[in-house]
Chains A and B, each alone.
Chain A
């Protein structure tokens, strides 16, 4: 399995705080990798560096063969990023927003239409797409943004808390959609979430990050066996406590 993302000792220093310290991991084609960790652990900083929003203090990451430091624009052609609590332009209608965002990734009108049609099917908002986003509920906005994130078929979709704001049924639907896109279309995902149940269900591998350090990575079942834990939540607890002891 070829690597879509290879993170090599990525670090970020904010004045006195080391937010990410030599973080290294890889994501293969069609693989779903989840970064989990407590608040302030460095998840969002790592994700923002990979998304080329922040410049790393040291280290590098290669996305689809392009370095985030040397070729950030090429990297952005191959990724989509959905930030946690992201919003959309409230004065636009849902369909206009999808068309606008598709136009930033592709220039050809037929390809733009294809992206928009795909997003329409994925988000399932139907006629509400003709309404202004300002009238949408939080869950509807999240569905629209998720559809936007996958409509261009990126090599790597980076989703920060993908199901935040969604009810149980919608969250299940989104998890199934992520799995389907990875299995059937070979799309790779880098997720970040606090919801361990979600991570256990949806991800192929996880990375536990605490105080800027990536403590451990591995398949969910491997980690459960290694830490003799019945679920990922307890694996997470033991890894974080182990880190505190050492």
Chain B
């Protein structure tokens, strides 16, 4: 009853109007981002399935007329553009044209002579975004013109269609990727592309979860100290263990709510980003390669043993729970050091560093492949093993997974032991960290001695 009373109080402090408002805003942002990404990928799909051609014919010969007729046969819409001199920007002003190809004077002459002919590609850059260059460009048009000119040249030289095909691609490459002792017919870039997309979600959830949990508990303890309610609370007939358990449980519940909302939000975002690409898109379309070869990789993943099963997800969940417990235990100690609202903000810094370092390292490199000393340093950070859990399970590095898990359990036991010892001792009331002061006891002695 007393514990429930305390837990209700802690939850009512943490789950307030601001927190719910923040969650609703975050969720809305993810849904908006998901819709935006879906519109971008829809545009990519539209461009690849129904290519539009914008072309300017300055040569104006029989060959170029045939070329444009050929483009009209294979493309839904061919837009003829006129250009004055070298003012290539003029046709794009006030129109939605993102790129066009100019056939310059002398093009036909070069083709007929069997020489390399020149085309002018004009593309408009509207923003610095990654996807802005993927839609409406001139690559598709140039590929079609190349194909037309190659056919004409082949005819001139008396080559058959089969001869031409062999000359264009004299070697057929079958890409195979090996993971541990398994192999599958898939390119490495496709495998890595899908892994990156899949694993993008969890590290961000871990990051948010750890930061939110730490902030909640540090704030909960430090507010009790700053508002001078801790002494009153600890003088009631409730054990200090019960007080701290209620605080930890409330922070964990709030963290789980945050994680749940983040997962829903990110799922909506990822769905929006991949839905158009993964549905009905031909495998050889260049746009899908740009996104990372997401299509037709599920079977290959299963063959390579990269697909995670239910037990793997249970292991990831358990490890995430241990991570939150470490974070809570650390937060008790950091919260106890706070003596004003300014230092409450500073106390989050050590945890932030312990999250950011493994996050960045695991994002750019394989922690297991680092040289011994950096590897030991990175692995000494308990949160590293949470970031490497999924890659370790995917690639069958079970020794590394279990070592990391056991290490986290040991760290939790040690930190929790010190946290409880601290909370049950006088230090929870007398200890403080005063940065930049010569004598930290002198300042606090007024309250402790009186």
Interface of A toward B, CB cutoff 8 Å: 14-15, 17, 19, 39-45, 48, 51-55, 73, 76-77, 79-83, 85-92, 100-101, 103-105, 107, 145, 212
- The residue that B429 contacts in the complex, of A48, A80, A85, A145, with Cβ under 8 A, is A48
Q: Which chain A residues border B448 with CB–CB below 8 Å?
A: 14, 19, 44-45
Q: With both chains docked as a complex, state the minimum distance between the C-beta of A149 and any C-beta of chain B, in angstroms.
A: 9
Q: Give the nearest-CB partner of A81 in chain B.
A: B235
Q: How far is the CA of A126 from the CA of B9 in the complex (A)?
A: 23
How many A-B residue pairs lie within 8 Å, measured between CB atoms?
99
- A246, B49: Cα distance in complex, Å: 101
Of residues B231, B236, B449, which shows the largest number of chain A Cβ atoms within 10 Å of its Cβ?
Answer: B449
Instruction: Verify A39–B229 contact, CB threshold 8 A.
Output: no
| Cα(A80)–Cα(B430), bound, Å | 21
In the complex, B264 has a CB within 8 A of chain A: no
| Per-position 1/0 for B228-267, Cβ under 8 A of A | 1101111111110000000000000000000000000000
B residues less than 8 Å from A82 (CB atoms): 232
Cross-chain contact A80 with B449 (CB below 8 angstroms): no
- Asked if B13 and A89 make an inter-chain contact with CB atoms under 8 angstroms apart, the answer reads yes
Q: A53-B235, A76-B235 are in contact. Are A87 and B228 (CB under 8 A)?
A: yes
Top 8 nearest A-B pairs by Cβ distance?
Answer: A103-B5, A81-B235, A87-B227, A107-B1, A104-B236, A76-B237, A44-B450, A77-B237
Given the interface pairs A79-B235, A80-B235, A90-B227, the reply to whether A19 lies near B426 with Cβ below 8 Å is no
| Whole-angstrom distance between the Cβ of B361 and the nearest chain A Cβ | 40
B residues with a Cβ closer than 8 A to A are 1-2, 5-6, 8-9, 12-13, 16, 227-229, 231-239, 425-426, 429-430, 441, 445-450
Least CB distance from B213 to A in Å reads: 20
Q: Are B449 and A14 in contact (CB-based, < 8 A)?
A: yes
With A53-B429, A55-B426: A45-B449 Cβ-Cβ less than 8 Å: yes
Q: Closest residue to A41 on the B side, CB-wise?
A: B450
**Is A40's CB under 8 angstroms from B235's CB?**
no
Nearest CB in chain B: distance from A136 CB, A = 13
Known interface pairs A40-B449, A42-B449, A44-B450; A104-B237 also in contact (CB < 8 Å): yes
22 cross-chain CB contacts under 8 A: A14-B448, A17-B449, A19-B449, A42-B449, A43-B450, A44-B448, A44-B449, A45-B448, A48-B429, A55-B426, A79-B235, A81-B235, A82-B232, A86-B229, A86-B231, A89-B227, A92-B12, A100-B9, A101-B232, A101-B236, A105-B237, A107-B2
Q: B13 → chain A, closest Cβ, in Å?
A: 6
Q: Which residue of B lies closest to A103 (CB)?
A: B5
Q: A52-B235, A73-B237 are in contact. List 9 more A-B contacts (CB 8 A).
A: A51-B235, A53-B234, A53-B429, A86-B228, A90-B227, A92-B9, A101-B236, A103-B1, A104-B5
Residue of B2, B13, B229, B232 contacting most chain A CB atoms (<10 Å): B232
Q: How many Å from the CB of B439 to the closest CB on chain A?
A: 11
**Which residue on B lies nearest to A38, using beta carbons?**
B450
* A92 to B446 Cα, complex, angstroms: 30
CA distance A1 to B380 in the complex (A): 63
B236-A83 in contact (CB<8A): no
Minimum CB–CB distance from B305 to chain A (whole Å) comes to 51
Given that A83-B228, A86-B232, A104-B237 are contacting pairs, would A91 and B12 also be in contact in the complex, using a CB cutoff of 8 Å? yes
Shortest CB distance B6–A (Å): 7
A54/B429 in contact, CB under 8 A:
yes
Q: A77 to B237, alpha carbons, bound, how many Å?
A: 5
CA of A82 to CA of B233 in the docked complex: distance in angstroms?
10
A150–B76 alpha-carbon span in the complex (Å): 85
Contact A76 B232 (CB under 8 A): no
Q: Which residues of A contact B238 (CB under 8 A)?
A: 76, 104
Check if B425 sits within 8 Å of A55, measured CB to CB.
yes
Complexed CA–CA distance, A52 and B446 (Å): 20
Output the least CB separation between A51 and chain B (Å).
5
A39 touches B12 (CB 8 A): no
B245 to chain A, nearest CB (A): 14
B429's nearest neighbour on chain A, judged by CB, is A53
Distance in angstroms from B397 CB to nearest chain A CB is 47
Residues of chain B lying within 8 A (CB to CB) of residue A44 = 447-450
Given the complex, which residues of B lie within 8 Å of A90, measured CB to CB? 227
Q: How far is the CA of A120 from the CA of B231 in the complex (A)?
A: 23
Chain B residues contacting A79 (CB-CB under 8 Å) are 235
Distance in angstroms from A199 CB to nearest chain B CB is 16
For residue B17, give the distance in angstroms from its CB to the closest CB of chain A: 10
CA distance A42 to B445 in the complex (A): 11
Residue of B nearest to A75 (CB): B237
> What separation, in Å, do the CA atoms of A105 and B233 have in the docked complex?
11
Instruction: Give Cα A101 to B236, complex, Å.
Output: 8
CA distance A88 to B441 in the complex (A): 27
Q: Which residues of A contact B235 (CB under 8 A)?
A: 51-53, 76, 79-81
Chain A residues, CB < 8 A from B430 = 14, 54
- Chain B residue numbers with a CB within 8 Å of A105 are 236-237
Q: Known contacts A83-B228, A90-B227; decide if A15 and B441 are in contact (CB<8 Å).
A: yes
State in angstroms the CA–CA spacing of A8 and B100 once bound together: 96
B420 CB to closest chain A CB (Å) equals: 15
Residue of B nearest to A211 (CB): B449
CB of B15, distance to nearest CB on chain A (Å)? 11
A55→B2 CA distance, assembly (Å): 24
Taking CB atoms, residues of chain A closer than 8 Å to B229 are 86-89
CA distance in complex: A83, B231 (Å): 7
The answer to whether B231 and A103 touch across the interface, beta carbons within 8 angstroms, is: no
A100 touches B5 (CB 8 A): yes
Tell me the complex Cα distance, A45–B448, Å: 6
Residue of B nearest to A85 (CB): B228
Most buried by B among A48, A100, A107: A48
- A141: shortest Cβ distance to chain B, in Å? 10
Closest to B450 in A: A44
Residues of B near A73 (CB, < 8 A) are 237, 239
A105–B2 Cα distance when bound, in Å, is 8
Give Cα distance in the complex from A73 to B237, angstroms.
Answer: 5
Q: How far is the CB of A126 from chain B (nearest CB, A)?
A: 23
Q: Which of B2, B227, B447, B449 contacts A104 (CB 8 A)?
A: B2
